[in-house]
Amino acid sequence: RRIRISCVLDIKWYFRLDVLRSTNYDFVRRVGQKYFVSYKKRDSFSTAVEFCSQRGLELALPQNEEENNILTQFFGDDNKTAWINVNTNKAEGNFEVDMKKQPLTFTKWGEGQPDKSIQNTGCTMLSENAVWRVTHDCSLNAYVICQI
């Protein structure tokens, strides 16, 4: 039974990699078994989540220091922020869970973060100095980076 489940997971992984290869992303970085991809497009948080989801991907969420630093390689000369996949509803985990409500296993909050003044909804950005911050303005234009 384990072999069968493993084969199904391998087929899904292979399919996603095939989709990745057939799409010309402007940014592709591999870290371990994970790929970060982007067209170097900036948009709101909700559009970022939708964009990744429509492609069978998820919004990027670094799981360790190496992944966090790789994402900062993406930034150009302007707008050095990217959305990351942290739950937006303070009541559903106080910014300590991802969008699937799973506990974050790695965080790199900046000083004073997550912002305690945010009462309901806030979206999390990765900034150029590789730290995370929550903003109440989820309509800001930040880079959209997906993961596979």
93-135 residue pLDDT tens: 778 889 998 999 999 999 999 988 888 888 999 998 999 999 9
Alpha helix (H) ranges present in 23-75? Answer: 45-54, 65-72
Mean pLDDT of 75-83: 81
Q: How confident is the model at residue 5 (pLDDT cuts 50, 70, 90)?
A: very low
Q: How confident is the model at residue 79 (pLDDT cuts 50, 70, 90)?
A: confident
Provide the 8-state DSSP code for 128: T
Closest CA to 126 of 53, 47, 77, 70: 70
Taking the CB of residue 6, how many other CB atoms lie within 10 A of it?
Answer: 10
d(CA 44, CA 18): 28
Model confidence, pTM:
0.83
